[in-house]
Homo-oligomer: A and B are copies of this chain.
Amino acid sequence: MTIWFGGDYNPEQWAETVWQEDVVLMQQAGVTMVTVGVFSWSWLEPQEGTFTFEWLDRVLDTLHAAGIRVDLATATASPPPWLSHRYPDSLPVTETGVRLQRGARQAYCPSSPDYRRLAARLAGEIARRYADHPALELWHINNEYGCHVSRCYCETSAAAFRRWLTNKYGTVENLNRAWGTAFWSQRYGSIDEVTVPSAAPAFRNPTQLLDFDRFSSDEILGIFREEAAAVRAASPSVPITTNFMGLFKPLDYWAWAAELDVISDDCYPDPVDPDSPYLAAMTRDLMRSLADGKPWLLMEQSAGAVNWRPSNAAKPEGMMRAWSYQAIARGADGILYFQWRQSERGAERFHSAMLPHTGTDSVSWKAVCQLGGELREIGDALDAPTHGSVGIMLDWDSWWSIEQTGLPSTIDYMEGVRAWYRTLYDAGVAIDFVNPRSDLGRYSAIVVPTLFVATSDALAALSAYAEAGGRLLVGYQSGITDEEGRLTPGGYLGSLAETLGVRIDEFFPLPVPGSVPADSVRLRANDLGVRDAVGIVWSERLVITSADVVARFASGPLEGEAAITRRSAGAGQAWYAATLPDPWLRSRLVAQLLAGTGVLEDAVAVPGVEVTRRGRHRFVINQTASAVSVPIAGQTLSVEPYGVRILEGDTVWRD
């Protein structure tokens, strides 16, 4: 298996004389593939219907002559100025009615027929011209779909939304029933009366909001489909990708992933954020889970600083390499950067690149070259990715729904996901992400931080998982509504209540952080240790029907009532957490949840260090600025700051 190495290459920014220097330096850096054409539309089609591919021919020929493969973009990510000048309705509109202007990028309404027609045409033109180019390795459809405009509130979008609703509901009566329009006098006489959820005087209908999120994800997926169809028609055998952006709320990547041949991710952790290692690990694990056996690429990372944070820290020496190996260890088949050569002008002049402003006599260039060389060496020896032992449930319907307004509390959906991921990560456990339709049976445990929206099938699947011997941990605000946003039939938790052995009497959400009253509650869990613990975000009055109480609330109006429960469910266990426990208690709970599964016995847990298995190899990565010692395979490995050591079996294979 070869590891792709390279980055975005935007030659139109440079005189052709520079291109020759580029390929020489690419070879020096070990580049094997570059992404070409992402922002080339205005250079390829300078006016509507006039195409100027000759320069791109020369670029591809030049790359091919140097042995560099090409991930060729459909060039549709940023429409040229002429497009919105001729078709002003193609510009997107915000929730408060502001029509966004060209002059940045991605200035298009996802439903614009003009944008979509012209994008599909360009994709087809490019595909036909380059389908047989010998440098072609991969098709790159568009770029970072939805990054800047994932929701549009213009009239074109409203009409598209109504078509989507008509398709879904058939009749306005069905829509009225599903949305519960009897409340607040929202009954529609016709789907023609439905609008997009732009600014309104009060809370919107929650099912309208949820459907608008689903529609918007689908609508953008529709652009992908149209471009992909145009490409596949001309070039059926070359695989297709588009680049995701990690844990990106606007698009349901579970639905998207099914349509890609190769999963790609753009990932820019903040070098000064101490949480970056585990946050990046989450996105690697998500990509491997989305790929589910297909290849996945780290399509974009930065050699140094980015330019879009309030302050853009550079990466200390070693960090970029450590983070790259983190992706490899978690299954990546390529390490690429945005971009090859740092721009001299334009909006991303200050985004670092493989070849920086400061040239080849620079610390960061040397780091790029070193990594390129290493990956070329080890690529062929790597196995396919190893999947996780524990599954964490991630569900876009729940994410969208629980972050609406008008709910019991203001909940950051990812806070719970991050918290449980972090606990498992710190324990050295290999983690996959799963969704309610996944095959859960292959995991030793399933953690459901919050499944606010749950179909009856989803609830049944979780119960079945536990009954069949699985270890199931369910967090608060799960099974609250069905897929229509209606109170779960049978009440909160639905059919899962019996599996968990609890019933919910009343929600007592804790104050949001920064409120005057305490935003946490004390917890007591004597059988997990003597120490008191704390819960945040949530509490609720539980009625125990058949569960054991693992921890109780120890302060507040629910003092003495159950907080965390466990029930033997068939061959397995079903845990319920009515609060978000602090890290200490989470780690105790995870230890009990996994007891007897063998998962923890196989894990190496050293603070700041990741030990990750990929087939025969284990990658030991020091994510800190200090040297560490890691007991592993009967020895003590020392790893330098940001150092990486790779074991094959129990033997050190690479340093």
Contact of A105 among B179, B192, B202, B307 (CB under 8 A): B202
Stretch with Cβ within 8 A of B (4 or more), from A40-48, A163-171, A385-393, A460-468: A40-48
In the bound assembly, the distance between CA atoms of A200 and B606 in angstroms comes to 46
In the bound assembly, the distance between CA atoms of A262 and B339 in angstroms comes to 52
- Does A616 lie at the interface of the complex (its beta carbon under 8 Å from any beta carbon of B)? no
- Does A187 lie at the interface of the complex (its beta carbon under 8 Å from any beta carbon of B)? yes
Q: Which of A73-125 contact B (CB under 8 A)?
A: 75, 77-82, 85, 92, 94, 96-107
Closest B residue, CB atoms, query A212: B103
Which residues of the partner chain B approach A105 to less than 8 Å between Cβ atoms? 184-186, 201-202
Which residues of the partner chain B approach A17 to less than 8 Å between Cβ atoms? none
Closest B residue, CB atoms, query A275: B516
| Best-buried of A13, A77, A97 by chain B (most CB within 10 Å) | A97
In the bound assembly, the distance between CA atoms of A163 and B189 in angstroms comes to 35
- Does A149 lie at the interface of the complex (its beta carbon under 8 Å from any beta carbon of B)? yes
Stretch with Cβ within 8 A of B (4 or more), from A18-26, A343-351, A644-652: A343-351
Number of chain A interface residues as a range:
35 or more
Q: Are A181 and B42 in contact (CB under 8 A)?
A: yes
Contact of A347 among B40, B205, B349, B408 (CB under 8 A): B205
Q: Are A307 and B97 in contact (CB under 8 A)?
A: no
- Copies per complex? 3
Which residues of the partner chain B approach A43 to less than 8 Å between Cβ atoms? 182, 185, 187
Q: Are B517 and A104 in contact (CB under 8 A)?
A: no
Q: Are B358 and A492 in contact (CB under 8 A)?
A: yes
Which residues of the partner chain B approach A515 to less than 8 Å between Cβ atoms? 272, 310-311
- Does A591 lie at the interface of the complex (its beta carbon under 8 Å from any beta carbon of B)? no
Which residues of the partner chain B approach A487 to less than 8 Å between Cβ atoms? 344-345, 349, 357
- Does A435 lie at the interface of the complex (its beta carbon under 8 Å from any beta carbon of B)? no
- Does A193 lie at the interface of the complex (its beta carbon under 8 Å from any beta carbon of B)? yes
Given A104-B184, A179-B346, A183-B345, 13 more contacts at CB 8 Å? A42-B185, A42-B186, A46-B189, A47-B189, A79-B185, A206-B345, A305-B408, A308-B405, A314-B557, A345-B484, A345-B485, A357-B487, A357-B492
Nearest 3 A/B pairs, CB to CB: A180-B345, A183-B346, A148-B201
11 intermolecular pairs with C-beta atoms under 8 Å apart: A10-B183, A81-B193, A85-B193, A147-B202, A179-B346, A180-B344, A183-B347, A313-B509, A314-B557, A345-B484, A358-B504
